[in-house]
Structure 1
Amino acid sequence: MYRNINDFINDWALEVESTVKVFSAINDEASHKKVHPDVRTLMRQAWHLTETLPEMGLKAGLFTENLLEGKPEPENMASLIEIYKNYANQLVKAAHSKWTDSVLEETIEMYGDSWTKGKTLQVFILHQAHHRGQMTVVMRLLGLAVPGVYGPSKEDWMSYGMEVPV
């Protein structure tokens, strides 16, 4: 749970950078491939991460309008990345301008539960990490290179000229 807006903003910047790195490693052909009937395509997972920002932001009172209205799922990753970065930036601006450190202990109704505003900020980050992890598994199954996020990936180790840990 966050107790300081600036801590969230600093962490969020790193999460956005990591998410964009993963999205950027997905080509348009692979983005629409199904690896299993019960697994979302990479495009659908990426769009889910993107559309959650304004949806959850609206529910939390950070956004005042439905930014998703009339926005279909993009057809390519480049378009999705631009929309994602725009929403991620708007989230930072809203958190910085609408909430202060002193309100992060206040509770709000979120998805049938009561969360503190600080927990809500934490869930934005955990939700990203959760789905990025799912996406990297699908990327491996599709034969895509996976970028390192919280540490080097297999491809990163190889680019360093080092033996890939088993």
Structure 2
Amino acid sequence: MIRNLEDFLTVWQHESDSTLKVLEALTDMSLQQRVSEDSRTLGTLAWHLVISIDEMIGRTGLEFSATPHETPQPLTAKEMVEAYRQSSDSIVKAIKEQWTNESLLEEQDMYGELWTVATVLQTLIYHQIHHRGQMTILMRQAGLSVPGMYGPSKDEWLAFGEEAPE
């Protein structure tokens, strides 16, 4: 629960770092991986996380510089990493400069409903977690190592010379 700006900034630091670890593990070739013919590719999911920062936080009235929601998906994983890093850094800087704890109680129109800014921020975090989970499945299918986010991943346990816990 986001009760104050520090709550968000602390959680966002961990979650955005985790998203960057996932994005940095992608290869250009892996961006085409998909579960089925009618599902999103790994690249589409990755780009969705990048442009969702602008799309969601842009509805709150915060003034920041992020990759616009309409921006076409780049061809390389490196471009996605840089776009995500810049967008994430931009909202953190803007939040610190423009908002107070009272800003979290302001209501904004989100998809035809009134949400508090705190709810928007919490939803942004959950959105990142949700799509990272989808991405890690596609990463395994593509033969990529999956980074740990809330502790070591199976790949990291094996790299430590340990047996991965069940």
Q: Give the structure-1-normalised TM-score.
A: 0.92
Alignment-derived partner of residue 118 in structure 2 = 118
Shift of 1:65: 7.5
- CA distance 1:67–1:138, shift in 2 (3 Å): closer
Q: Distance in 1 between matches of 2:142 and 2:108?
A: 40
- CA distance 1:93–1:66, shift in 2 (3 Å): closer
- CA distance 1:147–1:66, shift in 2 (3 Å): closer
In percent, how many aligned pairs have the same letter?
42
Q: Distance in 2 between matches of 1:29 and 1:99?
A: 40
Alignment-derived partner of residue 144 in structure 2 = 144
- CA distance 1:103–1:19, shift in 2 (3 Å): same
Shift of 1:50: 0.3
Alignment-derived partner of residue 62 in structure 1 = 62
Alignment-derived partner of residue 94 in structure 2 = 94
What SS does the corresponding residue of 2:105 show, helix, strand or coil? coil
**Structure 2: stretches of 5+ with no match in the other structure:** none
Deviations along 1:93-146, one digit per CA (max 9) or x if unpaired, are 222222210221222111111111111111111111110001001111222111
Alignment-derived partner of residue 108 in structure 1 = 108
Q: Distance in 2 between matches of 1:45 and 1:26?
A: 12
Alignment-derived partner of residue 11 in structure 1 = 11
* Equivalent residue pairs, number: 166
Deviations along 1:57-96, one digit per CA (max 9) or x if unpaired, are 2111113778527732111010111011001011112222
